[in-house]
């Protein structure tokens, strides 16, 4: 699925979400069976901490994702044309989860050279607890980082460097609502110059912009 088709599909999905929110379209009713309780079964739940900032609405998240994908050719999982709508919807769900997860992290001026992008994606899932998806694709996570509008980042290049982000669990600056509002208006941060190579002996995972 090429970039033009993806952006066109984003426009369609954004319009559908807006129509649903406006009450113009009613979702089809679905019969959902209640979860069965199994005697002796142990269930583990985690307290979910609310985002420390006001979060974008779903239509705003669609628009932010469109802005990011228009500016950067981020890698996404290969999609079978028969399931491209489902794959795009799944990518969006992961983008939303990553967006909320990183709202809890601190922002740093320097790139984190100790942790990979996939490590931070896993941290976002841990932050979300039971509400997290099964996985957050590194491309969806990077799109959320860029869409947050206040996180420094580098991109994969042809010299063996891999994408990295300016995030931390402590110190630094808190997330800001102003950041994603700038992204919503089309004002994205540029990637910063830097060298962040994969640890020696380990293959580089190309998850940034295609060159």
Provide the b/e sequence for 124-149 (b: ≥16 CB within 10 Å). Answer: bbebbeeebeeebbbbbbbbbbbbbb
pLDDT value at residue 113: 85
Q: Specify the pLDDT at position 60.
A: 97
Residues of the chain short of pLDDT 70, as ranges, are 1-49, 75-81, 83, 194-211
The verdict on pTM exceeding 0.75 is: no
Instruction: Transcribe 135-191 into DSSP letters.
Output: ---HHHHHHHHHHHSS--EE---TTSB--EE-EESSSSB---HHHHHHHHTT-PPPP
Structure tokens at 102: 């990183």
Give the per-residue pLDDT at 172: 95
pLDDT score recorded for residue 36 = 46
What is the reported pLDDT for 205?
A: 35
Taking the domains of the chain in order of start, what are their residue ranges? 3-24+53-184
Residue 165 has a pLDDT of: 96
Spatial distance between the Cα atoms of 164 and 155, rounded to a whole number of angstroms: 7
pLDDT of residue 50: 80
pLDDT tens-digit map of 96-151: 999 999 999 999 999 998 999 999 999 999 999 888 888 998 999 999 999 999 99
């Amino acid at each position: 699925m090429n970039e033009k088709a993806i952006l066109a599909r984003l426009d369609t999905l954004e319009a559908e979400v807006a129509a649903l929110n406006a009450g113009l379209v009613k979702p089809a009713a679905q019969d959902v069976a209640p979860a069965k309780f199994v005697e002796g079964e142990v269930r583990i739940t985690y307290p979910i901490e609310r985002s420390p900032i006001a979060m974008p609405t779903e239509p705003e998240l669609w628009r932010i994702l469109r802005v990011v994908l228009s500016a950067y050719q981020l890698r996404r999982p290969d999609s079978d044309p028969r399931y491209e709508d489902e794959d795009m919807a799944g990518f969006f769900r992961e983008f939303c989860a990553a967006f909320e997860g990183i709202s809890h992290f601190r922002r740093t001026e320097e790139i984190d050279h100790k942790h990979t992008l996939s490590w931070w994606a896993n941290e976002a899932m841990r932050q979300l607890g039971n509400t997290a998806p099964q996985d957050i694709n590194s491309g969806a996570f990077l799109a959320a980082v860029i869409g947050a509008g206040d996180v420094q980042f580098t991109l994969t290049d042809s010299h063996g460097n891999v994408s990295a982000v300016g995030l931390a669990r402590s110190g630094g600056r808190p997330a800001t609502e102003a950041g994603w509002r700038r992204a919503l208006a089309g004002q994205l941060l540029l990637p910063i110059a830097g060298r962040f190579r994969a640890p020696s002996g380990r293959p580089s995972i190309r998850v940034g912009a295609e060159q």
